[in-house]
Amino acid sequence: MSGAGYAPVHETDEGRKVFTVTGGDWEEALADRDPVYDERIIINMGPQHPSTHGVLRLVLELEGETVTDIRLVVGYLHTGIEKNLEYRTWTQGTTFVTRMDYLSPIINEAGYCLAVEKLLGITDQIPDRANVIRVLMMELNRISSHLVWIATTGMELGALSIMTYGFRDREKVLDIFEMASGLRMNMAYIRPGGLAQDFPDEAVRATRELIPYLTKRLDEYEAMLSGNPIWRSRTVGVAELDVTACLALGVTGPVLRSAGLGWDLRKTMPYCGYETYDFEVPTRDEGDVYARYEVRMAEMRESMKIVQQCLDRLEPGPVMVADKKIAWPAQLAVGNDGLGNSLGHVANIMGQSMEALIHHFKLVTEGFRVPPGQVYVQLESPRGELGVHAVSDGGTRPYRVHFREPSFVNLQCIPAMAEGGLISDVIAGGASLDPVMGGCDR
């Protein structure tokens, strides 16, 4: 493998070829430039830089502190998740997709499971309680993701107090995730056909207590930031992107809504019963970093409204489809250690008929078959449209699963926002996109 985009091939003492991965077009950018007398400066930002939200690499061309050109290099965190899905059963795939955008694992799981259920033709068979809990968990996840955004963006722009408070309050949400699933992140809680287990009473109580607590905290955040002259000078009029540019670049989510277009898939193409909930889609017209801040703050309040409605709708009932050929694990009970199955659950399985035990064993080890076909499902993640294209060849494993990841798509607007501005505004503009590199390099 040689040619454009690759480093030269080197021969080692053992005679094996080694490829030195340099990334991007660094060599071309430096070609024919005198580093002493040329006024243009070319620098790397990342891939290990605290303001690149993970392993994003930016190649910047500067004249003084003005950015004249910027190029993005991704791929440093590639996990092969989409390829790994082809070697696991449809249910096991949930444990992979939850690790892509690691700030919104529940929404990754929901998109994947909705696609599997659409292939199975069981979308209308999902129990009402399961759908309500799915919406509740997704909105809690949206809140926790936005809390990380306000915390990390504040840190990058010098507001260190808000960083501490944002992560502190996010822990409250993660506590509820742990009560419901046994894990705080990457839960694999949503499964094809329903949920891994029911939403416990202690989690219901904790969620009810969370809403007034967070309402008060959001008021404090806005009192701390909205009128702060330093915060406003770093965000107002910075990294502007109008609605035309957003549509041309495929940008969705809070960035698009901050430019004036109220496109939210929960409203425009509802799923999981979102059309039955009362909430608004916050928008602004300025299209700058400050507008994105205002949109996300307003979205957290709307999410709390949805969570409250979910709590009011919670009625006793099953959380898995009735079809036992799909419903695994239907009555999962977490053990006292919070990790494995409870002994009572294992004893219940072992104590049934031999046929039931064999069926459970085959369902767990081999998985269920999904009719051949392909579907596309889209959800509104905290960063924009999350699309899932799933293809089945009729077997127990996916033939192909591809995610349309909003972080990956939204990143391409950084040059449009940053070129012609100051290097310090690259930090603010990039942070306002809220990218998660686990979703880009999947």
pLDDT of residue 335: 56
Shared domain check, 322 and 333:
no
Shared domain check, 120 and 206:
yes
10 lies in a domain?
no
Take residue 163 and report the two structure tokens written for it. Answer: 């960083």
Shared domain check, 261 and 136:
yes
Shared domain check, 383 and 351:
no
pLDDT of residue 147: 96
pLDDT band at 401 (very low <50, low <70, confident <90, very high): very high
26 lies in a domain?
no
Question: Taking 60 as the threshold, does the pLDDT of residue 362 lie above it?
Answer: yes
Residue 138 contacts residue 169 (beta carbons within 8 Å) = no
Do the bridges between strand 40-45 and strand 17-19 make them parallel or antiparallel, or are there none, so unpaired? unpaired
Shared domain check, 206 and 178:
yes
pLDDT of residue 239: 87
pLDDT band at 291 (very low <50, low <70, confident <90, very high): very high
Q: Which residues contact 403 (CB under 8 A, 6 or more apart)?
A: 82, 97, 100, 108, 111, 386, 387, 388, 389, 439, 442
Shared domain check, 415 and 336:
no
11-33 per-position pLDDT tens digit: 555 554 444 555 566 666 666 66
pLDDT of residue 132: 95
| pTM of the predicted protein model | 0.86
Q: Encode 66-124 in three state secondary structure.
A: EEEEEEEECCCCCCCHHHHHHHCCCCCCHHHHCCCCCCCHHHHHHHHHHHHHHHHCCHH
**Domain boundary residue, one of 317, 349, 364:** 364
Shared domain check, 392 and 293:
yes
Question: Taking 50 as the threshold, does the pLDDT of residue 2 lie above it?
Answer: no
Shared domain check, 143 and 252:
yes
**What is the average per-residue pLDDT within 356-373?**
81
The CATH number of whichever domain residue 323 belongs to comes to 1.10.645.10
200-213 per-position pLDDT tens digit: 999 999 999 999 99
14 lies in a domain?
no
Shared domain check, 98 and 184:
yes
Shared domain check, 213 and 146:
yes
Structural domain including 397 reads 81-328+367-440
241 lies in a domain?
yes
352 lies in a domain?
yes
Shared domain check, 410 and 339:
no
The pair phi, psi for residue 379, each rounded to 5°, is: -130, 165
Question: Taking 90 as the threshold, does the pLDDT of residue 268 lie above it?
Answer: yes
Question: Taking 50 as the threshold, does the pLDDT of residue 6 lie above it?
Answer: no
Tally the domains of the chain: 2
Shared domain check, 350 and 233:
no
CA distances from 3 to 121, 184, 284 (A): 47, 45, 46
What order do you get walking across the sheet with 66-73 strand by strand?
40-45, 57-63, 66-73
